[in-house]
Chains A and B, each alone.
Chain A
Amino acid sequence: MNVFSQTLLWLGDASNWEGTGGISVRLVQHMQYSLATLAITCVIAIPLACYIGHFGRALFVIPVINALRALPTLGMLSALALIFGLGISAPMIVMVMFAIPPVLAATYSGIANVSQTTTHAMRAIGFSEWQILWNVELPTAFPAILGGIRSAFTQIIATWTVAAFLPVGGLGRFLIDGLAIRDYSQMLGASFLVIGLSIAVDVLMLIVQNTIERHSRYSQLTTQS
């Protein structure tokens, strides 16, 4: 029997979807982990980027954080797992670390792209710094921020599968456990699922991003246009 029909058989078998270690549970777990990681990333990266982009201070942070991307994810996962112990905190920290750069860079450049003429004019007619950020800079940067979140999110979904060599849940379990018992149809089925999930998320967010970009009333405020 060929591997692809084996894969379909695994995915089509209802018993594989049920139970505590079933596909449904793992899929929900994977999305929960990924969304939580993304939320933490945004809470850190977006305010930081707003500060850097709006005031033009602490610019050195960006190259420093970008340099961290050169570290191998797999190595950081195992190193931090030994420091923080088993559980999801170690992979969560590593993934936040690797997801911050795309969100930070996108938000920063989105905000820094708002032309100085606009912000100076707003200041002159009495807008506070906070109002400038909230009413003009953030809405202008919004499509760019979404782009950063999109690449961070697909990266997070991918990394949670790699993190399954640690004792965590998610769809990666099927890959690592399948490898250990040489259950190739399980590995293929789960791979198919993760690849599909990741591409679906990416395309969906790309469509949302493009739609917002096209209808944005703020694009004329950037220095590039």
Chain B
Amino acid sequence: MNWLILNCAQILHYALQHMLLSVFPILLGTLVAVPLARLANGFRLTRSSIYVASSVLYAIPSLPLLIFLPALLRTKILNPVNIEVALTIYAIAIMLTSASHAFLSIDPSVIHAADAMGFGAWKKFFQVELPLAGSQLLAGIRVVSVSTISLVTVGSLIGVNSLGFFFLEGYQRDFPLEIWVGIAATALIALLFDQILAICGRVLMPWNHRRVTRERSAA
């Protein structure tokens, strides 16, 4: 317990670092994957190839990627850019498949109706498809968020510190409390991000709220 009080500042510092490292890949991954998935859905060949692409991207092991990227990007190994790029790749991998499914789940008759009413491609995307795919897209982003927050810690192995620092230091010092504090703090951040995303979903898509609560109470 003493350790916890004495190292309060350090825990907060690494927690903040952890959140900063997580935010960017979640946002960028979503921004890249959602339009890409929508475009790829247009053709059969591109649609099936994004499933293969996301499977292959997700199969890349994280630690080797973190070592490989500096050589590819000509950055220093301690540069946080490497981990941001790596995590963005994983975010895209997860989001591509789930965004593709989200857009496919829209009732085609609604799309036909929008076409018949003369909606242009952009207007249709923003006013019809995006709102209808919204709740499934949000579910995908929540998966990305949890996975990113957990993966950030791997960066500690090569010296890009986050709460993962406590895992390695706790192991080296044979001090379990430090590790469990790190795990709990990571889980708390995951929970916090998940709640923020859920609230964003409720604010942006108020029409889904009623249905979601009913499904939850039924489950």
Contact = CB atoms under 8 A, between A and B. Distances in A.
Tell me if chain B binds chain A.
yes
Contacts of A4: 71
Interface stretch (B4-12, B58-66, B99-107, B201-209): B58-66
14 contacts: A7-B71, A73-B154, A75-B182, A75-B183, A78-B171, A150-B55, A158-B59, A158-B61, A161-B63, A161-B64, A172-B63, A179-B157, A191-B63, A194-B61
Q: Which 8 pairs show the lowest CB-CB distances between chains A and B?
A: A158-B61, A191-B64, A202-B59, A78-B171, A75-B183, A154-B59, A75-B167, A72-B150
A23 interface: no
A174 to B, nearest CB: 10
B116 interface: no
B60 A195 contact: yes
Contacts of B154: 73-74, 162
Nearest to B191: A70
Given A82-B171, A191-B67, A192-B68, A72 B59 contact: no
A83 interface: yes
Given A75-B186, A82-B176, A195-B60, A206 B156 contact: no
Interface residues of A, number: 43
B183 A71 contact: yes
Interface residues of B, number: 40
B58 A188 contact: no
Given A75-B179, A188-B71, A162 B60 contact: no
Nearest to A160: B61
B24 interface: no
Interface string A188-210: 10111011001101110010000
A7 B61 CA distance: 18
A72 B179 CA distance: 11
B168 A79 contact: no
Nearest to B158: A179
B61 A157 contact: yes
Nearest to B183: A75
Interface of B: 52, 55-56, 58-65, 67-68, 71, 146-147, 149-150, 153-154, 156-158, 163-164, 166-168, 170-171, 174, 176, 179-180, 182-183, 186-187, 190-191
The A interface is mostly helix, strand or loop, or mixed, namely: helix
Contacts of A105: none
Contacts of B64: 161, 175, 190-192, 194-195
A179 B66 CA distance: 12
A120 interface: no
A195 B65 contact: yes
B216 to A, nearest CB: 11
Contact of A158 (B56, B62, B190): B62
B67 A199 contact: no
Interface string A42-81: 0000000000000000000000000001111111111101
A176 B158 CA distance: 9
B183 A165 contact: no
Nearest to A200: B59
B190 A70 contact: yes
Contacts of A83: 176
A206 B61 contact: no
A8 interface: no
